[in-house]
Amino acid sequence: MALFPESCTRIIDLQSGKGRWALTETDRAELAAVHARTRAAPPGTEEELLHLLTRPFATEDIPEYFRYTSLHVLAWYLAGTPDQVAATLRAMDAALADLTAVEHAAGEDEERLRRLAALRAHLRTLPHADGPAAPVLDTVDAAQRERLRILVACTGFPMSDRHDEHVFLRAVHVCELAYYLIRHQAGAVVAAVGTPAASTLLARLTRYADLPNRVFHVLRTLTPESFMSFREATGYASAVQSLNYHLMELALYGHDPRKDRVLTRYPHLRPLTEPPLREAYSLRQAVAESGDPGLAGAWQELARNLLTWRGRHYGFGRRYLADIQGSGGTEGAEYLKGFVVKRAAAGGRTPVPVHFAYR
Ligand code: HEM
């Protein structure tokens, strides 16, 4: 396998060493300067790679969650691949393969390795177009392989030097990919309502919607003590800042005014509380308007999968944070509890954007 250019390897080593939290002010200033210098880098160049690697150190005001997760690299990767479903499944598999290698090297947690293997095996059974995803994961051309290699390398930097932060960070990446896949597929179902394709697409979506539950099954191998050992290093990076997640919710359920209190705190989320997105046309609405009992039944199954995830997430909040506030400044587990059950939303006619936007 070809190595990255030396200039990039140095930056990778710098961030991997003791974790990004341990970087000195001089290191940070250097990384920020590289990022600024490579702003206009042409695609496919060493300069572009340097730009991707250093985005968490950009001097502009970006949400902490974006800095922590390097979601801009996911956006870069997805933008370069025409088949978004295949691209997302491959990115999930690549992230999980990398985590598996990290876990094997540490040799600490056999149960986690077993759960990871089961999740990767499950990915291969997921539907893609007319068949299971296995061939999609097995047939990757050289150009796509290179993009996946860059994706994995540029997103694998924990903040701390704690081994267990890897599973947390990769769980976030795979969930983010699942949210995107769900939103993307929800758009496809809405467009197909009224045609015979709708029920097939909705059945596929239901399978994708179970993925975050399976990711949490892997993450559950983390102990609360271990979680607390790196939590401080992740600072104010809370997934409540995830535009991708809130757009997924909008695409599925429509606008929930109860969320405005939190969404209006973040400039990048505020548009979700205002027209036209406030009047989002949701999948729930499209299914209800279709009057198709088959679609309504399939929607219930999909909704159950996501309800399970929200319920487990609340359970995670209680288990790992007990009475501690969330890093997004919410009351923590109690905030999650309030949104486990979805309420009916007024709805409108605005289509929800389907592309993955983290620049
Ligand atoms: C130990 C594991 C986890 C705990 C204890 C936890 C806890 C929390 C808490 C307390 C919040 C409320 C917002 C805040 O103040 O931060 C939150 C929000 C959120 N978390 Fe987690 N979380 C965990 C793992 C994850 C993972 C792996 C993901 C995947 C991306 C995730 C996605 C989200 C999302 C999307 C929100 C916003 C939910 C909403 O606004 O309805 N969480 N989490």
- Per the document, the length of the chain is 359
Confidence label for 210 from pLDDT (cuts 50, 70 and 90)? very high
Q: What is the pLDDT of residue 342?
A: 94
Mean local confidence (pLDDT), 253-275: 96
Q: What is the pLDDT of residue 344?
A: 81
Q: What is the pLDDT of residue 349?
A: 94
Q: What is the pLDDT of residue 3?
A: 84
Nearest to 162 by CA among 315, 63, 18, 298: 18
- 188: exposed, middle or buried (C-beta count within 10 Å: 0-12, 13-18, 19+)? middle
User: Ligand 1 centre and the CA of 239: distance in Å?
Assistant: 5
User: Residue 209 to residues 105, 205, 248, 259: CA-CA distances in angstroms?
Assistant: 31, 6, 11, 21
3-class state of residue 143 by DSSP: helix
CB distance 113 to 103 below 8 Å: yes
Tens-digit pLDDT profile for residues 68-86: 999 999 999 999 888 999 9
**Mean pLDDT over all residues of the chain?**
95
Residues ≥6 apart with Cβ < 8 Å to 139 = none
3-class state of residue 131 by DSSP: strand
Tens-digit pLDDT profile for residues 10-57: 999 999 989 999 999 999 999 999 999 999 999 999 999 999 999 999
Question: Is the pLDDT reported for residue 97 higher than 70?
Answer: yes
- What are phi and psi for residue 128, nearest 5 degrees? -140, 125
Question: Is the pLDDT reported for residue 327 higher than 90?
Answer: no
Question: Is the pLDDT reported for residue 178 higher than 60?
Answer: yes
Give the CA dihedral 12, 14, 15, 21, nearest 10 degrees: -170
Rounded CA-CA distance 274/260 in Å is 9
Residues ≥6 apart with Cβ < 8 Å to 95 = 151, 152, 155, 170, 173, 174, 177
Structural tokens at position 9: 């390897």
4 lines ligand 1 (CB under 6 A): no
69 lines ligand 1 (CB under 6 A): no
Q: Using the Cα atoms of residue 41, residue 35, residue 266 and residue 329 in order, give the sign of their dihedral.
A: positive
Question: Is the pLDDT reported for residue 358 higher than 90?
Answer: no
Tens-digit pLDDT profile for residues 273-318: 999 999 999 999 999 999 999 999 999 999 999 999 999 999 999 9
Q: Which residues pair with 127 in a beta bridge?
A: 132
**Which residue is listed with tokens 């598999």?**
93
User: Ligand 1 centre and the CA of 336: distance in Å?
Assistant: 8
CB distance 242 to 68 below 8 Å: no
Tens-digit pLDDT profile for residues 52-65: 999 999 999 999 99
Tens-digit pLDDT profile for residues 122-154: 999 999 987 999 999 999 999 999 999 999 999
Tens-digit pLDDT profile for residues 183-208: 999 999 999 999 999 999 999 999 99
248 lines ligand 1 (CB under 6 A): no
Residues ≥6 apart with Cβ < 8 Å to 73 = 52, 55, 150, 151, 154, 155
User: Ligand 1 centre and the CA of 83: distance in Å?
Assistant: 29
316 lines ligand 1 (CB under 6 A): yes
User: Residue 178 to residues 115, 188, 208: CA-CA distances in angstroms?
Assistant: 18, 15, 7
Rounded CA-CA distance 339/314 in Å is 9
Confidence label for 228 from pLDDT (cuts 50, 70 and 90)? very high
Q: What is the pLDDT of residue 130?
A: 75
Looking at the chain, the whole-number percentage of residues with pLDDT higher than 70 is 99
User: Ligand 1 centre and the CA of 2: distance in Å?
Assistant: 37
176 lines ligand 1 (CB under 6 A): yes
Question: Is the pLDDT reported for residue 359 higher than 90?
Answer: no
216 lines ligand 1 (CB under 6 A): no
317 lines ligand 1 (CB under 6 A): yes
The reply to whether CATH 1.20.58.480 applies to domain 73-338 is: yes
Rounded CA-CA distance 338/259 in Å is 10
Rounded CA-CA distance 321/94 in Å is 30
Question: Is the pLDDT reported for residue 1 higher than 60?
Answer: no
Structural tokens at position 19: 């974790």
* AA letter at 232: E
**Which atom of ligand 1 sits closest to the CA of residue 259?**
40
Q: What is the pLDDT of residue 168?
A: 98
Mean local confidence (pLDDT), 251-272: 96
Rounded CA-CA distance 320/312 in Å is 12
Confidence label for 324 from pLDDT (cuts 50, 70 and 90)? confident
In the chain, where are the structural domains located? 6-60, 73-338
CB distance 167 to 222 below 8 Å: yes
Question: Is the pLDDT reported for residue 2 higher than 70?
Answer: no
